[in-house]
Each structure stands twice: as structure tokens, then as C-alpha cells.
A and B are shown apart, each in its own frame.
Chain A
């Protein structure tokens, strides 16, 4: 058995669920920036040391609008 290769992840947001509350940017300011209306602008593929902050953002969202997805998934 070989170890599974490191999976690259990225953050996704459901823009319908997102209400621009902005907690995500507070707990993960290195990863998430807010636009001029307070909605998160997400980075592309996450480098490994951003993954932790991204997970914090996912957990922090009161609308559960954020999730992590493996890059190369079936949805663009």
C-alpha cells in the first residue's frame, strides 16, 4: 500500500446561501478577502499551509455557505 498523494483543495461558496456576514474573512484573513459589498472573494487552489485557515472559515460560516472541494472535481 502506498500513501495517498496529498490532495489539493480549494474553497467553494454557495453564493445563494452566503449573506455577506464576513466571519470567514475574520478567521481566515490570509485566504479570504471581502469585496466592496462584504462578500468573500475566494482564492484558487489552496497551498497546504492555507488549508487550516480555510477549514476554520468553513466551520465559522453561520450560513454553512462554504465548503472545501478537491481540485480536479467534476464541477468547475
Chain B
């Protein structure tokens, strides 16, 4: 069965997009872009990066990174844009508390297969990101400043090299290092990065408090967060926009006003038929039914009030004729395959969970078994990878309640499998 394909008729006209902010100067992105369905954030139509000269003409030179910047960041209310929404000032103060050598990392390794907003921002406005990285490093007296890339992000690396070349004679502070992470779903996980920048294997780890105060410190910020630091340090008010990566026939990275509703977003992007549900935040995210989402704004605090979150801004609509449970089974199998294979509960628990979802789809399973399997992995890994899978499963059981009951009773819902999701074998 064919599903309606999402096309993006508004995008090719060069920047006019859904819920576009009134003042172009208040945007992070130069233009909204269309990307192929999977892979790094290289746009279908090349978009020129903002040069260093343009960047300085637009915003003025980079101010000095003084210790007072942490108060500016705190007053601006900046939270991390990598998905967890932790207040940036909290992370700064925690990093400042230790005594070991400090590395500040701009995390550009978007490993969620649909996510591409960080790669897009890095390609379009590399100097904004680099300013934020250097400001943070200087304000905290860091010894190193690193941009951490997903190992296969050649376009991102190229954009960075060009940008660093342009500002070679003006930068002060630690020299920015580019480090290629692994090509893996967990390449952007903060504890893996902390180990990777110290020369270790970039795999998630548990830190014990007995590590001592002289242990090396690593402050990892998402590149969008750092771009926002660069604006806050110049006295700019926070933008009223949010960056989103939306999956359709292709992918789109758009910057929209936070007041934009999901209905406006998808209509604006050319989704003509109503989806039945949306996967929020990516493969380790959560499902929400369309009737609940349609009139909600994409604003994170509004979503949190409803018990929802968009994480790092990934939006994956599910067509009416696709079985959400089937898609969930494929996603859990994908997440199981993307385990770092370090922790027993994740190594054994995620495949077991994937089997139970699959058994349910095929009419041989029970919801109780599914929830038991989910409870067995929840919170038991070194990182939050298994928790993403349990959250996905729990939200699927709630969102596709009727389908779950039908499948469990051995009467499959009759909906199709739909087009394969990026990175996931059908």
C-alpha cells in the first residue's frame, strides 16, 4: 500500500517557510532546507555558509568570554538543545566546580537518523557556533575547545575547516580541535564524548564520585546551544523560534516560531492528509496521537505541560494507513542493534523487548510481557539508550491502544508497514 508522501512545496522558494519569524535577523538559520531522507545534513540544494566577514558585519566581533558570562547565560534562561533541555548555566557551574583540566565540546554528532538541525546550523552559520564554543571555553578558563563530529559527516567537517581558516588570524583562546567521533547511534552521547576527547574509546561510561576533583572535566554542549550562547553574550534576547528536523518523502530542517502548532507545521510543509500520530524526538522518543497534538504548539514548555517532549526537535509523522505498532517493532529492533553492547540489561534486554513487540504485532504476544520486558531494562544502562527504547514502547502502547488490543487478540489492524524509516531495515 502506498502512503501519502510528504513533500515540501514551500521550501524551494528560498527561505519562505512555515511559521517564519517576522524579523529575519532573529533567526538562527540562513534558510530552511530540504535534505535526502537519511545521511548527514547535506542539503539537496547547496546553501552557502555565512562567511566570517558576513558574520561579523551582522553581529559585530565576538565579545570577550568573561567569568560573568555564566550569569548572562543563566538570566537568558538558555537550556540545552541536544534533547535533554538541562539549563546551560547549571552545566557551566558544575564544570567550574572541578579542578582537573577542562575541555569544552561543541557536540555536532547528531546520531538520530532523522535529526539534521545541528548539521544544518553548522553548515550555514559555522561562526556563530564557533563563537559560542570559544566564549564558553574562555569564560570557564578551559584548556581545550573541541568540535565533535559524527564520523561520517564529511560535509560538516568541510564547512568547519573553511570556517576555521577564515578566522585563523582573529581567534584568541584555545585553538579549536576537530575530532571525528565514531559512526554509531551513540556517537553523540555525552559520557562517550567525554571519554573520546581524552583519547579513550568513545563508548558510554558511568562516572563514580570517587573519581576525585582532579579528574579531567568535560563540558559537552550541543552546537545549537552554543550558537545561542554566542547571541546571548552579545546581548541578544533569546529567539522565539525552534529548529526542527521533519521527516517526509525527504527531510526538512526548518526554523519556526514556537507558537506554531503541529497542524500548521505539517500543513505548511505540504502534508495534505492528516497523520494518525507523530513520533516526537526521534527513534528513542515518544509517540503522540494526532488528535492530541494537532492544536499544540511546538514550544517545549507547552509540550512538557502535556507530558510530552520534542527532545532535539525531531518530528516523524505517521500516515493513517501505516501500522504504528509495526513501525515501533522495527524501531526497537534498530535500537537494540545500536546498543554499545557493554551493559548486560541492554545487550539482552533490548533484543528481548524487540522480540516481544514483534510477537505482539504477529498476534502471538501480550502487552503485559511487553511492559515487563520494558521494566527490566529501564534505567539499567550506563547511558540512557535503553530508556529511550522503553519510552518508545510505553508511548506506543498508549497511542496505538486500539491496534495493540486488536493485535493481541490475534486480529491485526490491517494497516501496512509503510516506507522504511531512515537507517531501519524493513
The B interface, classified by DSSP as helix, strand, loop or mixed, is: loop
- Checking A19, A20, A36 against B376 with a beta-carbon cut-off of 8 angstroms, the contacting residue is A36
Count of interface residues, chain A, beta-carbon cutoff 8 Å: 18
Chain A minimum-CB-distance residue to B344:
A39
Do A37 and B348 touch across chains, with their CB atoms under 8 A apart?
Answer: yes
- The complex places the Cα of A75 from the Cα of B207 at a distance, in Å, of 9
Chain A minimum-CB-distance residue to B381:
A15
Do B209 and A75 touch across chains, with their CB atoms under 8 A apart?
Answer: yes
Stretch from A3-11, A23-31, A52-60, A66-74 at the B interface: A66-74
- The complex places the Cα of A12 from the Cα of B346 at a distance, in Å, of 17
- The complex places the Cα of A67 from the Cα of B204 at a distance, in Å, of 19
Do B206 and A15 touch across chains, with their CB atoms under 8 A apart?
Answer: yes
**Known A-B contacts A37-B345, A38-B344; A16 and B206 likewise in contact (beta carbons under 8 Å):** yes
Q: Which of B287-303 contact A (CB under 8 A)?
A: none
Q: Mark B64-80, 1 if CB is under 8 A from A, else 0.
A: 00000000000000000
Count of interface residues, chain B, beta-carbon cutoff 8 Å: 19
Chain A minimum-CB-distance residue to B345:
A39
Tell me if B91 is interfacial: C-beta within 8 Å of chain A.
no
Do B209 and A37 touch across chains, with their CB atoms under 8 A apart?
Answer: no
Chain A minimum-CB-distance residue to B376:
A35
- The complex places the Cα of A74 from the Cα of B204 at a distance, in Å, of 19
Tell me if B58 is interfacial: C-beta within 8 Å of chain A.
no
Shortest Cβ distance from residue B398 to the other chain A in the assembled complex, whole angstroms = 25
Q: Mark B202-215, 1 if CB is under 8 A from A, else 0.
A: 01111111100000
- The complex places the Cα of A7 from the Cα of B180 at a distance, in Å, of 44
**Known A-B contacts A73-B209, A74-B209; A35 and B382 likewise in contact (beta carbons under 8 Å):** no
Chain B minimum-CB-distance residue to A15:
B343
Q: Can you give 28 contacting A-B residue pairs, CB < 8 Å?
A: A14-B206, A14-B382, A15-B342, A15-B345, A15-B380, A15-B381, A15-B382, A16-B204, A16-B205, A16-B206, A16-B343, A19-B344, A20-B344, A35-B345, A35-B376, A37-B348, A37-B349, A39-B344, A39-B345, A39-B348, A39-B380, A41-B380, A67-B208, A67-B210, A73-B209, A74-B209, A75-B207, A75-B209
Q: Which residues of A contact B (CB under 8 A)?
A: 12, 14-16, 18-20, 35-39, 41, 67, 69, 73-75
Q: List 5 A-B pairs, minimum CB-CB distance, nearest first.
A: A15-B343, A39-B344, A37-B348, A16-B342, A14-B206
